């Protein structure tokens, strides 16, 4: 987390002297992001039955995103964004029960305020889905399957234009992927770079 914050500060400082168009946050963009992921899973009801996990796991995550910004007022930016992520060593286990998220995608709306022409503070909210492998070993052998965990996510961050086309951002997200009475909470700290078309 400290490394992510330090990297964002360095990127923002390096961009201070660069001339940037006021329109950088208006139009389509695509980018990549990396960061820290923390999953906390309770006792989910999966395709192979209820799995007693009640544990958490930290992991490295990375992925790509695409979106569209529209300036609806001189300092107000609204937009939509979709993303895809995978994580490394993110399986959450307890004993002989394992939930291993394979990949995640999300769709969300963003609303931001331009502090100046280069700095956007924003919030987001939307839908998130995580596809996971599940495994449980018992007296009768090992059961394996796949399942979808979906729910809502919220978050916010700061995005800084480095040039007329490139921006960097740091963001926090919280996701609730549990069903009725289930626990699947996800926290993310992300550092991203975007190219604006």
User: Tens of pLDDT along 53-69?
Assistant: 999 999 999 999 999 99
User: Residue 45 pairs with which residues in a beta bridge?
Assistant: 50
Task: Report the pLDDT value the prediction gives residue 56, as an integer from 0 to 100.
Answer: 96
The pTM is what? 0.85
The Cα 50–Cα 41 span in angstroms is 12
* CB-based burial label for 38 (10 Å; 0-12, 13-18, 19+): middle
The Cα 195–Cα 187 span in angstroms is 25
How many Cα atoms occupy the beta-carbon half-sphere of 148 within 13 Å? 7
Low-confidence ranges of the chain (pLDDT < 70): 1-22
**Tokens matching residue 141:** 């052998």
CATH 3.40.640.10 fits 2-196, yes or no: no
């Amino acid at each position: 987390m400290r490394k992510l914050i330090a990297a964002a500060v360095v990127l923002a400082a390096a961009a201070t002297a660069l001339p940037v168009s006021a329109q950088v946050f208006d139009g389509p963009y695509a980018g990549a992001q990396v960061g820290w992921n923390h999953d906390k899973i309770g006792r989910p009801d999966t395709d192979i039955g209820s799995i007693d996990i009640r544990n958490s796991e930290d992991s490295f995550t990375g992925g790509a995103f695409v979106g569209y910004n529209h300036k609806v007022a001189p300092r107000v930016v609204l937009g939509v964004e979709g993303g895809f992520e995978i994580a490394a060593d993110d399986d959450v286990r307890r004993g002989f029960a394992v939930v291993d998220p394979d990949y995640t995608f999300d769709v969300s709306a963003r609303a931001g305020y331009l502090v100046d022409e280069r700095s956007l503070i924003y919030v987001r909210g939307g839908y998130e889905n995580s596809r996971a492998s599940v495994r449980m070993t018992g007296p009768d052998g090992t059961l394996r399957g796949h399942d979808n965990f979906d729910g809502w996510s919220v978050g916010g961050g700061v995005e800084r234009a480095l040039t007329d086309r490139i921006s960097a951002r740091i963001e926090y997200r919280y996701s609730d992927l549990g069903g009725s009475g289930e626990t699947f909470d996800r926290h993310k700290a992300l550092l991203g770079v975007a190219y604006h078309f």
